């Protein structure tokens, strides 16, 4: 039986090495456990963007949508993530963003998805 390929897009900033590694690891782990998606194989489509360049972020999202990714993960910067979220909402496309927000007293992890 031939596995159906399913691409997942990841948008990462230059300093997001740990998030990119975690994203690639998650794809590998899902692919190695045939009980999770027995008839599918995930492919990671990685795009790197500047945390301040919302125009480039928008172009990369359009590129990922154009090549047919099933979902988009990232980026971490709220400046670019809001543009990515807006495009994904308009196109009714799944988007997940993770951001670490640190206060003086504690670290709060935020997870958003649409």
- Encoding tokens for residue 19? 């998030």
pLDDT mean for each 10 residues of the chain (114 residues)? 85 93 96 94 96 95 96 93 95 87 52 53
| CATH code of the domain containing 47 | 3.40.50.2300
Query: What is d(CA 112, CA 74) in angstroms, rounded to the nearest whole number?
Result: 10
Please give the backbone phi and psi of residue 62, each rounded to the nearest 5 degrees, phi first.
Answer: -60, -40
The confidence score (pLDDT) of residue 98 equals 79
SS3 86: helix
pTM: 0.81
Tell me how many domains the chain contains. Answer: 1
The confidence score (pLDDT) of residue 63 equals 96
Place of tokens 């399913």: 6
- Find the helix or strand (DSSP H, E) in which 35 lies: none
- Encoding tokens for residue 85? 């979220």
The confidence score (pLDDT) of residue 108 equals 47
Range of the domain at 46: 4-111
């Amino acid at each position: 039986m031939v596995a159906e390929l399913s691409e997942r897009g990841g948008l990462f900033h230059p300093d997001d090495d740990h998030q990119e590694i975690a994203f690639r690891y998650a794809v590998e782990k899902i692919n190695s456990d045939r009980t999770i998606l027995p008839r599918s194989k995930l492919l990671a489509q990685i795009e790197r963007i500047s945390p301040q360049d919302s125009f480039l972020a928008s172009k990369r999202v359009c590129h990922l949508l154009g090549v047919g990714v099933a979902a988009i993960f990232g980026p971490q910067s709220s400046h670019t993530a809001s543009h990515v979220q807006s495009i994904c909402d308009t196109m009714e496309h799944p988007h997940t963003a993770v951001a670490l927000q640190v206060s003086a007293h504690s670290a709060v992890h935020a997870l958003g998805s649409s």
